Structures are given as C-alpha cells and as structure tokens.
C-alpha cells in the first residue's frame, strides 16, 4: 500500500496543480476544469485502490498461518504479491496524473475543447493504468493459492526465489510503461486542445504508440507466469 500510494499521490497532486493554474488563467471555465480535475484524479488513484485491496487480502486471508504453511515459499509469495501491485502502481498512478494535469491545462487554454480533450484524457489514462491491472492480477495469482506453498526440503529454495523474482519482475516491468504512456497521453491532450479538429488522428496515434509501450509490461507478465506457474509447478 505504501508503494501504491507514491505514484497515485504524485499523479493526483499534479492534476490539481495544473487545474489550479488553469483556473487562475481562465476563471470563467473553472467549472469545466474542476470536472476534468475530479475525473482525472479519480482514475489516477485507481492503482492505489488495487494496492489497498491487496493489502486487505494480505492482512485478512493470510492468518492464522499453520505450521505447514510457515515456509519460505509462502513468505516469498506474500512479499512478491505486495511488490507486484505496489511497484506497478507507481508508474500507472503518476502517468495517469500527467494526462489529467495536461487535460486541465488544455481546457483552460482552449475553453471550446473540453469534450474532445476529456475523451483523449480518458483513453490515455485507461492505457496508462493497464500495467497496474497486470500487477493486480499477478498479486492475486500469488496470494490465492495459499495451500500450495507448503513445500519442504531443499527444493523450496528455487521455488521461493521464483516467487519473489516473479513479483519483482511484474512490479518493476510495469513502472516504465505506466510513465511512458502517461507522458504520451499528456502530449496528446495538449495537441487536441490546440487542434480539436485533429482529435481523431491524434487519438489514433496515441493508441498505436501506447500499444507499443504497453508491450513491455506484457513481456513482464509473461515472465511472471513462467517463473511462478511453470517453474513453480516443477
């Protein structure tokens, strides 16, 4: 939860900063900017909600721990679970905030473009937060099969290493894509604010670019599956 709050706090704060500056420049559009700010902040905080859910699952579903479950694989799985969702929320929360902040600035600059800028912001934020969804799914895959971690003997060492490595791989592999897609989405919001008629072409370019940036988090998720499920079952 601590890691998950880092990016979301930065993203929500950045959105509020740009909204306040935009209202100062264009007081007449304060209502439009405020609506965009609230929507942008709500989405940028969604990765933190994933982290909160996993934190509650860790607290409520892992106890009481039986003697058979008190193993190194169980401990590494729970640690990897927290790292996967926490680290993945860092880039996603901040990236979504970058898009929300630029959308507020663009609406203040061009009060006639709120609908098109908001659509671009929503597309960009949805793409920026998707790496956090991978991290959330990975954390669930680690925390739910609790009874399978009662491994004893020398074989528990590579199994435990695979579990913690899987969580780190997914969490760290999602930071860059979240930030990168957020930066691309911010510039797309700025471009739509300057040229609303080119919104369709700009959104199409954003989708293509974000898909390429997103692919690296997919690679991380694939490696997570290989480490946790395939290696673990061996």
pLDDT tens for 60-89 read 865 566 555 567 778 788 888 999 999 999
Q: What is the pLDDT of residues 175-201, one digit of tens each?
A: 999 999 999 999 999 999 999 899 899
DSSP state of 155: T
Residue % of the chain over a pLDDT of 70: 89
Write out the two tokens for 149.
């971690």
**Whole-model pTM?**
0.87
Q: CA–CA distance from 92 to each of 12, 54, 109, 117 (Å)?
A: 11, 16, 26, 20
Q: What is the pLDDT of residue 205?
A: 94
Mean pLDDT of the chain: 87
- Name the residue ranges covered by the structural domains of the chain: 2-233
More confident residue, 65 or 213: 213
Q: What is the pLDDT of residue 70?
A: 63
Q: What is the pLDDT of residues 25-39, one digit of tens each?
A: 888 889 999 999 999
SS3 23: helix
SS3 68: coil
Reported CATH class of domain 2-233: mainly alpha
Q: What is the band of 163 on the pLDDT scale with cuts at 50, 70, 90?
A: confident
Q: What is the pLDDT of residue 153?
A: 57
């Amino acid at each position: 939860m601590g890691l998950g709050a880092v990016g979301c706090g930065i993203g929500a704060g950045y959105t509020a900063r740009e909204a306040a500056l935009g209202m100062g420049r264009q007081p007449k559009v304060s209502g439009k900017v405020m609506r965009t700010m609230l929507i942008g902040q709500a989405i940028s905080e969604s990765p933190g909600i994933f982290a909160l859910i996993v934190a509650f699952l860790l607290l409520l579903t892992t106890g009481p721990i039986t003697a058979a479950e008190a193993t190194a694989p169980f401990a590494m799985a729970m640690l990897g679970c927290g790292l996967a969702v926490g680290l993945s929320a860092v880039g996603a929360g901040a990236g979504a905030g970058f898009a929300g902040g630029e959308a507020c600035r663009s609406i203040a600059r061009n009060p006639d473009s709120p609908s098109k800028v908001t659509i671009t912001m929503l597309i960009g934020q949805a793409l920026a937060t998707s790496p956090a969804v991978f991290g959330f799914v990975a954390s669930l895959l680690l925390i739910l099969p609790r009874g399978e971690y009662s491994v004893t003997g020398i074989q528990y060492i590579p199994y435990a290493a695979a579990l913690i490595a899987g969580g780190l791989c997914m969490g760290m592999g999602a930071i860059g894509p979240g930030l990168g897609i957020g930066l691309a989405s911010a510039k797309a919001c700025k471009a739509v604010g300057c040229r609303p008629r080119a919104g369709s072409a700009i959104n199409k370019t954003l989708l293509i670019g974000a898909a390429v940036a997103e692919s690296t988090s997919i690679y991380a998720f694939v490696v997570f599956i290989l480490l946790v499920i395939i290696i673990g079952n061996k």
